[in-house]
Structure 1
Amino acid sequence: MQNWIQQPNNSLLMLGDFNASYYTFPYEVDPELEIIIKGQFPYARYMSFTLAGQLDNVIVTASDKALIPDPGSTNPFLPGANWNADNRNYTIKIRSTAPPQGSEHFVPEAGNNVFYAGTLKDGTQNSFGLIGLRIYVPSIGYDKTGGVGLPKITYCTAKKDYKNTNINRFINTTDPYNPLNPTSVNDKEVIIKRCCCETVGQDCDIAWNRIGIIATRLLQPDLNTIYMISEQIQRDSCELLFIRWKAPKFPDTYHNTGLIGNEDMRYWSISFVSRVGLLGLYTISDFQAVIDKNGYVNLVISFGAPRPSFVTAENEFNWIDASNLPLIPLYLMYRNNQVSQNFSYTAKNIPEGQIVPPEVMGKYYPCGKYVNPRYFNSCCYDDTDRHSKNKCHY
């Protein structure tokens, strides 16, 4: 038996989100041994296993919906599946060999989902690595494992001359969603009650990039997630950072409602992170955010400036006082997890490390503007009055 090692949310290994739990265990490539993992699908938003090789190179990620359950069990992460199914078992095997010719490093099969750890993604020999387990947003009433405990890990003698006879049964694990009512950026919207909101989305003050190639190779990202990172945030006690964007549709698994199939993505969140190591410092995610009647998130961030009286949850605003975060350069990370094939408003096609143009994401682009606190009391704000040396004008 082997035990899982819990990783903190601000671990250097996992690009942590504060609404997720992270676990790893190390392995060595040994043709004489086979690692068997037996677990249950959790009552949670998302689960995945990541196989990383030497030097932390990520080889492959298998998400919850890609795992074929044991015979007689149900995978509740498929659209329309029974979310509360009693039998929800799966089995994973990790083999110290290269994948069969023409196969990927992960091959799903009922009761026999296989990772091949003998080679890295580029085909070079692998000697050791880590298995990472992620569990996002346990449903209300369940613990951080989603109410099913951690999977059991067992080492067994490997079968000699093993051949995968089921390669031709390799299933297409791409997103099966077929949205019943896809969102369009051209949808007619209700007029926003405060005109100050209407100006955000134009002439954004902060730029976003796809996360760089070093992070995607060394920090064990989930390969089913699109990561965007902002430029450095200005920490000005005289101003607020107002970020507004259209909220992608997500499943309400937090309240124990299963996946329907018309979701834009499985999960999204914005986290404060450090420059070095992209350590997570704070997260606000989809189920925590107030979403206004037009489907937008209105996020106001303070670094010491007072909270305007109008900026309340009742008025459809989200407020974060970031003045108590560590006094280091701060960045924001926006993650989109398991995006539907029918949802195109992401940075998916932007090369790693490149700037994400706002027009690529349209209204779903998190557009940030630095504003004076009284901006929310009057839309006739004079931008020239933002500063007067060391004095704040409210």
Structure 2
Amino acid sequence: MKKFLKITGILLFALIALVAAALLWATSRLAKDDPNIPRPSYKQYEMGQGAADRTPKPSDVGFVVDSAGRGRIVPPMPPEKPMDIHTAANQKHNLSLRSCFWPGPRARNGVFTNDANSFSLENQFPDTGTTYIPTALKLPEGAKLVVQGDFPHMRHWNFNTYNPRGEPQDALNDVEIVPDAGSVNPFLPGVPRDAKNRRYTFTIVNGKPATPRPANTLYTFADAGKEVFLWMRNYVPDHSSDYLGSVALPSVSMVTADGQRLEGDAACEASNTPMRGKQLPSSVDGRAWVLLTHLPWVDTANVGAKDVEARPLQAFFNRKQVVSDLFFPLLTAKQPEQIGGWWSNKVTRYGYTYLSRNYGQVYVMTAKMPRTPKNWHGEKDNPSDYDMRYASVCTGGSLTAASTPDCIYDEQLAASADDTGRYALVISRQEDRPSNANAQCGVAWIDMGNGDGMVGGSPQFASLINRHTQVHADFKHSWFAVTQPGTEKQAMGEYLPYVLNLKAKDRFEALGCPVDKTKLWAMLPK
């Protein structure tokens, strides 16, 4: 028995030593960038004349050290596109729109800040077609928050509550909010979008929804006194005037269990928590990413990517599913639970895949274009005949950096669709962009970026994310229709996005101008 215990002790010590050595090695990989990694250099990592808060700009290869002393590689700033939401003209004004309850806007690096430790840098795969305002709160027993304001002038707008893991708990969406007496909800079909009287009031309460669910009520799914996260999302404000859609920030007051009403700073203080106005931690620890990408059976140089001519995107269900698919595919659940992650939007479903520049420098993403409303130019009509309220495509970094090089949303992408309704989106680095990858030649383009965003990481890695938001009940071919992995084609049909590998820009340039899309469609699986 003593011999058994001795051997067990030795094995346990060896295991602890191995784990400690692995963590030490992974930590060392994150401490300093490897000078032998051939990183591309860019002139522009910021918007306009620099980030709105004037934080120091990154180096030519995107290296920057945040205020907590951590280094990272940020993606370059792509050229500004027509109808972009964050622009050099509005970035500084947008940063000033904040209150004691709403700590201010967040977006990809280079817009509001270059500091990855700053609240104003979005580190959860942000979509550049929307602006995020996360806040944190707690509610005493029997208390409620009362939120009041004007419906904004924008495409889509909603509120989500989250647990500390970044999984959405409850949501209250624009069309669900009943307007105040004498006002209208301009998000409802048939209501003029420019209506003058557009006031609303809703409440936030603890716990889970009652049955029947009362109107204009958002739930924390938490007990009294527990920290809860709340995000307000602002999609495609009219004319990109400001991220709030030309209205003021919502006011927030607290009504206590005994009926006392706290306004302004008093309401902020009574609902305050340690994470209000603080940066969220990475969803996947950097050391874990380093260790997982260097497992013996993982292709470290091409994580998640495949060297194939055409590859479909797959549906996102939760964080565990993503990690197991990448590193432990035999452990992936056949029917994973749809719980979201990375602070996802409850009325959005996502598709994703991975690219490697080692396999190709130029890719094309294509699918049939869903019908979406138009609003950027301030259109007054609010139609009911749409498939979804919003759709977009974004490139991204690793699960740890969760950075976003570039995005394009439906209204920007629509011009690339042919007579069949199929769009063509070219994805490459700026240096690899084909000369005919532009609107004049009938296609759209977004920046692949410069890698996984990790110090010591790969400059060849890229992720690709497709969003379908607030899908109409009658539309049956969105990411919402995919109930288990592997059924994407059956569920989505022509609306399932595929990524085509064109390998190099000269092959794409050979398609001419206008681009001969029939040759692209010929690459799709029959």
TM tier, shorter chain? 0.7 to 0.9
Structure with the largest fraction of helix: 2
Q: Secondary structure at the match of 2:200?
A: strand
Residue 44 of structure 1: which of 119, 134, 154 is its match?
Answer: 154
Q: Which residue of 2 aligns with 1:8?
A: 106
Residue 320 of structure 1: which of 435, 446, 449 is its match?
Answer: 446
- Residues 302, 12 of structure 1: CA spacing in aligned structure 2 closer, same or farther, 3 A cutoff? closer
**Superposition map of 1:294-333 within 5 A:** 294=419, 295-303=421-429, 306-322=432-448, 324=450, 326=453, 327=459, 329-333=461-465
Residue 115 of structure 1: which of 213, 218, 221 is its match?
Answer: 218
Report how far residue 31 of structure 1 moved: 1.6
Residue 197 of structure 2: which of 87, 97, 114 is its match?
Answer: 87
**Superposition map of 1:178-193 within 5 A:** none
Counterpart of 1:116, as a letter, is Y
| Distance in structure 2 (CA, Å) of the matches to 1:85 and 1:358 | 41
Q: Which residue of 1 aligns with 2:385?
A: 262
Report how far residue 114 of structure 1 moved: 1.7
| Distance in structure 1 (CA, Å) of the matches to 2:340 and 2:436 | 44
Q: What is the aligned length?
A: 326
- Any conservation in 2 of the 1:241–1:302 contact (CA below 8 Å)? yes
- Residues 127, 270 of structure 1: CA spacing in aligned structure 2 closer, same or farther, 3 A cutoff? same
- Residues 12, 293 of structure 1: CA spacing in aligned structure 2 closer, same or farther, 3 A cutoff? closer
- Residues 38, 228 of structure 1: CA spacing in aligned structure 2 closer, same or farther, 3 A cutoff? same
Q: Which residue of 1 aligns with 2:250?
A: 151
Question: Gaps spanning 5+ residues in structure 2: where?
Answer: 1-98, 109-120, 260-307, 321-338, 454-458, 520-526
| Distance in structure 2 (CA, Å) of the matches to 1:337 and 1:15 | 15
- Any conservation in 2 of the 1:48–1:133 contact (CA below 8 Å)? yes
Stretch moving more, 7-16 or 284-293: 7-16
Q: Which residue of 1 aligns with 2:182?
A: 72
Report how far residue 144 of structure 1 moved: 1.0
- Residues 364, 303 of structure 1: CA spacing in aligned structure 2 closer, same or farther, 3 A cutoff? same
Q: TM-score, normalised by structure 2?
A: 0.57
Counterpart of 1:242, as a letter, is V
The reply to whether residue 281 of structure 1 matches residue 405 of structure 2 is yes
Of structures 1 and 2, the larger Rg is shown by 2
Q: Secondary structure at the match of 1:300?
A: strand
| Distance in structure 1 (CA, Å) of the matches to 2:404 and 2:251 | 28
Q: Secondary structure at the match of 1:71?
A: coil
Q: Secondary structure at the match of 1:362?
A: helix
Report how far residue 13 of structure 1 moved: 6.7
Counterpart of 2:396, as a letter, is V
Q: Which residue of 1 aligns with 2:263?
A: none
- Residues 323, 141 of structure 1: CA spacing in aligned structure 2 closer, same or farther, 3 A cutoff? closer
- Any conservation in 2 of the 1:274–1:328 contact (CA below 8 Å)? no
**Superposition map of 1:153-302 within 5 A:** 153-158=252-257, 205-214=310-319, 216-230=339-353, 232-236=354-358, 239-257=361-379, 258-277=381-400, 278-289=402-413, 290-294=415-419, 295-302=421-428
- Any conservation in 1 of the 2:425–2:445 contact (CA below 8 Å)? yes
CA offset digits 1:52-99 (Å, max 9, x no partner): 245444221111001111111110001110111111111111123554
Report how far residue 127 of structure 1 moved: 2.1
Indicate the structure whose relative CO is greater, using CA pairs within 8 Å and at least 6 residues apart.
1
| Distance in structure 2 (CA, Å) of the matches to 1:13 and 1:303 | 21
Residue 59 of structure 1: which of 166, 169, 185 is its match?
Answer: 169
- Residues 314, 28 of structure 1: CA spacing in aligned structure 2 closer, same or farther, 3 A cutoff? same
Residue 370 of structure 1: which of 501, 505, 508 is its match?
Answer: 501
Identity over aligned pairs, percent: 24
Counterpart of 1:147, as a letter, is S
| Distance in structure 2 (CA, Å) of the matches to 1:275 and 1:103 | 42
Q: Which residue of 2 aligns with 1:361?
A: 492
Structure with the largest fraction of strand: 1
Counterpart of 1:272, as a letter, is T
Report how far residue 284 of structure 1 moved: 0.9
- Residues 15, 259 of structure 1: CA spacing in aligned structure 2 closer, same or farther, 3 A cutoff? farther
Report how far residue 2 of structure 1 moved: 3.9
Q: Secondary structure at the match of 2:235?
A: strand
| Distance in structure 2 (CA, Å) of the matches to 1:218 and 1:261 | 30
Counterpart of 2:412, as a letter, is Q
Report how far residue 227 of structure 1 moved: 1.0
CA offset digits 1:201-251 (Å, max 9, x no partner): xx8623322224227454221111111111x20214964101222111111
Report how far residue 318 of structure 1 moved: 1.1
CA offset digits 1:259-318 (Å, max 9, x no partner): 210111100000112221433332111122233342222111223664444433122111
Question: Gaps spanning 5+ residues in structure 1: where?
Answer: 161-202, 382-394
- Any conservation in 2 of the 1:33–1:156 contact (CA below 8 Å)? yes
- Any conservation in 2 of the 1:345–1:361 contact (CA below 8 Å)? yes
| Distance in structure 2 (CA, Å) of the matches to 1:55 and 1:362 | 33
Q: Secondary structure at the match of 2:175?
A: helix
Q: Which residue of 1 aligns with 2:472?
A: 340
Q: Secondary structure at the match of 1:227?
A: strand
- Any conservation in 1 of the 2:416–2:424 contact (CA below 8 Å)? yes
- Residues 71, 274 of structure 1: CA spacing in aligned structure 2 closer, same or farther, 3 A cutoff? same
**Which ranges of 4 or more aligned residues in structure 1 deviate by more than 6 Å?**
none
